[in-house]
Amino acid sequence: MHIERHQLIPWACLPVLLGFVWLVYHPGLHGDFLFDDFANLPALGSTGPITHWSTFFRYITSSTADPTGRPLTLLSFLLDGHDWPTAAYPFKRTNVLLHLINGTLLAILLVNLGKRIFVTETLRAKNGVVMAGVTAAGLWLMHPLLVSTVLYVVQREAMLPMVFVLIGLLLWLRGRDALMEGRWVAGTVWTVLGLLGCTALATLSKANGILLPMYAVLIEYLLLRKRSPVCTDACIADTKSIPGIWVYRKLFILVAWLPACFVLAYLVYTGITGAIYGVNRPWTIGQRLITEPRVLFDYLDLLWLPHPFTPGLFNDQIMASHSLWSPPSTLLALAGILGLLLAGWRLRRRHPILALAILFYFTGQLLESSSVALELYYEHRNYIPAMMMFWPLSLWLWEVGRNKPSGYSRIKIALVLLLILSLGVMTYARTSLWGNGQQQALLWATLNPASARAQANAADYEMTAGRPLAAEARLQAILREHPDDPQITLNILSAHCQLGGIAQHDLDLAENTLVHMNDKGAKVIFHWLGNAIRLATAHDCPGLTSDSISAMLDAAEQNPRLNRVTGRKQDIYHLRGQLALAEHHPVEALIWFEKGLALRPSPQMAFQQAAMLGSSGYPKKGLDELDFYESAQPPSPPSGLGMPRIHAWVLQHQRYWPKELVYLRTTLSKDAATQERDKK
């Protein structure tokens, strides 16, 4: 964007602001990986360090999130690490830099739009538009609510789409101008690159990038439709006389309106199918739709009445609404959201920028806060939707659009500085907390007293710090509200292990929990049981024995919810085999391993189990496991057109599993031969 000489001073405020944001975020760079980071980032080393093209293609196609697999986000992680485990600092540093890039692009977009809307003949007016855009971007950059997006490594998935959304809108505006000037080829190229190319790139980062055309529709309809794109000021023109207007309108239908309608149709489709067939959640689609207005109002409260500390990453305490009157806030929130939407529509002519801020926010929430069966609440869902929110306030503060002879109001300039500094203080306090995992866990537990996840997380930190009594008291306090939550009952066992041993009533409680738990979080529970097997066989926890773990696995197998999921049954059989192997019963272990493998033959599981048998001193049994796998019905390739199918093709093209099979079989054969020689 061309910057005139007289605008250099207002634009010079932007790098100062970016430096301030960097300083505010710096304490948080020393924090740890959290939660979903451990579910996504280990892919960096799951098939070996990413040091050549083969491992690169296996990694970049490995994700199952969204149909696309979000490959551009995975690609961005390679800027910070090529193997796992690794340090969190470079990942968080890149996130903060990406946040600064988004703030810069947002300022450029807002100034670009402001020049198209307001009369800017005077130097004061032109500078006011620039200062308003920079201020709005600064308020967004500095807002404490966004810390839980920026410093949560995996939420680069929420940040990277915004880069392409902003670039896409800027390219579209450039193409729009070119078309109106009669440069049809250049205009068409820029418009298609902006609204189709950048939508594709944003969607390959995360699915909500597909909303880019809808944002363009809002800006076009609310701000630009009756203004001449050739005029950079607010000159109203007869759009029928502008060269290229017909071409632009037809093209805009193809690259903006049609994709926007497709998204709306998809949301209606998911809502109908979810209502008919149900969803694998503790709530129905109907309950989700009437719950989300409550959630959105909570988001808006945090945006307009910012707090230095919020519930953070925990959302399991958010209860779904059962009806419009349960809880009573449901109907009020629904009426409030409808009222805001109506206000946005009614304001579209007299106050179009305010209307844009309102409607843009709710449009940005469409994919993650409506009929798609995601979890009910996450703070990072505000990252893109909030980007237009502070522009109307900034325009008012800099008196843009008011023809006053006097200079800017000193009171309003002071208010701008006060707002940015206040947000900076709150954000600094929050980033400092994110830089200290233990303090963060304890505060989140305090702010989320009804969250089982928050209490279990805090208890983990307390046990790591050598304070099992505090952990045990915390878990017992919430056990009454969550008697069937395994992350509470099993962590109580861990605390009692540190305190000297496990009693029978602890084991009974754990077994009862495993019988009644739902499938949510089952992978974490089975990971705990795997560690418990190692503790029991090493006799490091009095009261925790092989028999008690076997009883827990019996309880898990009685759970009807777990039994409905093939993967969970496989996990149970795998753990039974692991337990038998720990007790030096290789024949029994092989029986359990093969029983699990028969449910759904998987090369990854077969090779893991064969390697376990070999490393435990039974290479012949490991070879038997490989023989069983090769004789089993091969797994069917993934259906559909998503990333799992592409990943399967990559593995097949590279002959990855056959090569791994040859290598493992060779290793086990050598070990078996060595074992035979030693016997002789």
120 shares its domain with 149: yes
Q: pLDDT tier at 165 (50, 70, 90 boundaries)?
A: very high
41 located within any domain: no
Nearest Cα to 577, choosing from 635, 514, 530? 530
User: Which tokens is 136 given?
Assistant: 């709005």
507 located within any domain: yes
Nearest Cα to 366, choosing from 170, 255, 218, 252? 218
**CATH number of residue 662's parent domain:** 1.25.40
Q: Please report the pLDDT score of residue 148 as a whole number.
A: 95
422 shares its domain with 488: no
pLDDT higher than 90, residue 239: no
592 shares its domain with 475: yes
Q: pLDDT tier at 62 (50, 70, 90 boundaries)?
A: very high
Q: pLDDT tier at 241 (50, 70, 90 boundaries)?
A: very low
442 shares its domain with 427: no
Q: pLDDT tier at 237 (50, 70, 90 boundaries)?
A: very low
pLDDT higher than 50, residue 235: no
Per-residue H/E/C for 149-162: HHCCHHHHHHHHHH
Higher-scoring residue by pLDDT: 381, 66:
381
Out of 432, 449, 479, a domain closes at 432
What integer best gives the mean pLDDT of the chain? 90
* Buried-state track 591-629, b at ≥16 Cβ within 10 A, e below 16: ebbbbbbeeebbbebbbebbbbbbebebbbbbbbbbebb
User: Which tokens is 66 given?
Assistant: 């969204």
Integer Cα distance of 92 and 153 in angstroms: 6
Kindly state the average pLDDT of the residues 162-183. 95
Out of 412, 432, 452, a domain closes at 432
Kindly state the average pLDDT of the residues 124-149. 93
Nearest Cα to 416, choosing from 62, 5, 8, 10? 10
Q: pLDDT tier at 634 (50, 70, 90 boundaries)?
A: confident
pLDDT higher than 60, residue 423: yes
Place of tokens 């189709």: 196
Residue 87 burial (C-beta neighbours within 10 Å; 0-12, 13-18, 19+): exposed
Q: pLDDT tier at 231 (50, 70, 90 boundaries)?
A: very low
Q: pLDDT tier at 243 (50, 70, 90 boundaries)?
A: low
Cα 393 → chain centroid? 29
Q: Please report the pLDDT score of residue 623 as a whole number.
A: 94
Kindly state the average pLDDT of the residues 468-494. 89
Q: Please report the pLDDT score of residue 230 as a whole number.
A: 40
pLDDT higher than 50, residue 233: no
Q: Please report the pLDDT score of residue 486 as a whole number.
A: 87
468 shares its domain with 396: no
419 shares its domain with 445: no
pLDDT higher than 70, residue 242: no
pLDDT higher than 70, residue 6: no
DSSP 633: P
pLDDT in tens, 330-374: 999 999 999 999 999 999 999 999 999 999 999 999 999 999 999
Q: pLDDT tier at 405 (50, 70, 90 boundaries)?
A: very low
451 located within any domain: yes
425 shares its domain with 458: no
pTM for the predicted model, two decimal places: 0.92
Integer Cα distance of 517 and 352 in angstroms: 51
Domain membership of residue 347 as a residue range: 5-32+88-432
Q: pLDDT tier at 128 (50, 70, 90 boundaries)?
A: confident
DSSP 401: T
Counting every residue written for the chain, the total comes to 680
pLDDT higher than 50, residue 232: no
Nearest Cα to 580, choosing from 568, 593, 563, 570? 593
Place of tokens 């189990």: 609
Kindly state the average pLDDT of the residues 238-266. 84
469 shares its domain with 554: yes
523 shares its domain with 629: yes
pLDDT in tens, 270-314: 999 999 998 888 899 999 999 999 999 999 999 999 999 998 888
Let me know: does 138 contact 11? Beta carbons within 8 Å. Answer: no
Q: pLDDT tier at 228 (50, 70, 90 boundaries)?
A: very low
DSSP 405: S
Q: pLDDT tier at 266 (50, 70, 90 boundaries)?
A: very high
Kindly state the average pLDDT of the residues 467-479. 92
Q: pLDDT tier at 120 (50, 70, 90 boundaries)?
A: low
147 shares its domain with 269: yes
Instruction: For residue 35, report the phi and psi dihedrals to the nearest 5 degrees.
Output: 40, -105
75 located within any domain: no
Q: How many domains does the chain have?
A: 2
Out of 432, 457, 475, a domain closes at 432
Place of tokens 């009693």: 503
464 located within any domain: yes
78 located within any domain: no
535 located within any domain: yes
Q: Please report the pLDDT score of residue 408 as a whole number.
A: 61
Q: pLDDT tier at 42 (50, 70, 90 boundaries)?
A: very high
Best-predicted range by mean pLDDT (164-173, 398-407, 458-467): 164-173
37 located within any domain: no
User: Which tokens is 517 given?
Assistant: 């738990």
Integer Cα distance of 494 and 461 in angstroms: 12
pLDDT higher than 50, residue 520: yes
Residue 239 burial (C-beta neighbours within 10 Å; 0-12, 13-18, 19+): middle
pLDDT higher than 80, residue 625: yes
532 shares its domain with 420: no
Output the CA torsion sign for 520, 524, 530, 535. Answer: negative
368 shares its domain with 461: no
User: Which of 473-487, 593-607, 632-646 is predicted with the least confidence, judged by mean pLDDT?
Assistant: 632-646
Kindly state the average pLDDT of the residues 618-643. 85
